[in-house]
Amino acid sequence: MTELVLVADDDDDILLLVTTRLRRDGFEVVQASSGDEALRLAREKRPRLAVLDIGMPGLDGLEVLEQIRADDELRNMRVLLLTAKAQESDVRRGFDTGADAYVKKPFSPADLSARVRELLDGA
């Protein structure tokens, strides 16, 4: 069975890069370009994992993560934060909010795909 992954980023180039890599590696991907759209798709599609950018319009990635963790039907979804926010306080805040993984931009698409696989295999 193909794993469904939600990818949310307001940067079209990053969205395309991540989506293309994950699809090439056998994942089914749904895309969102805002936090509000990401949360709607998470509720509708029920992906096993979400890759969220922190700095998105509307709800940011951390707010989406908070909503996911507060929702009884979504709280077990794996969440990977993919962001340019690289300070230690940003990383700590991401994990404190409930992230399963934190990948800093710039990133290697191959490494990101490997992290996604690790998170899904460990679920």
* Domain region containing 104: 4-121
Residue 92 sits in a domain whose CATH number is: 3.40.50.2300
pTM (predicted TM-score): 0.95
Q: pLDDT digits over 39-93, tens only?
A: 999 999 999 999 999 999 899 999 999 999 999 999 999 999 998 877 888 889 9
Query: Mind listing the pLDDT tens digit for each residue in 91-123?
Result: 899 999 999 999 999 999 999 999 999 999 985
Domain count, the chain: 1
* Strand-pair partners of 49: 5, 78
Between CA 54 and CA 90, with CA 71 as vertex, the angle to 5 degrees is 25
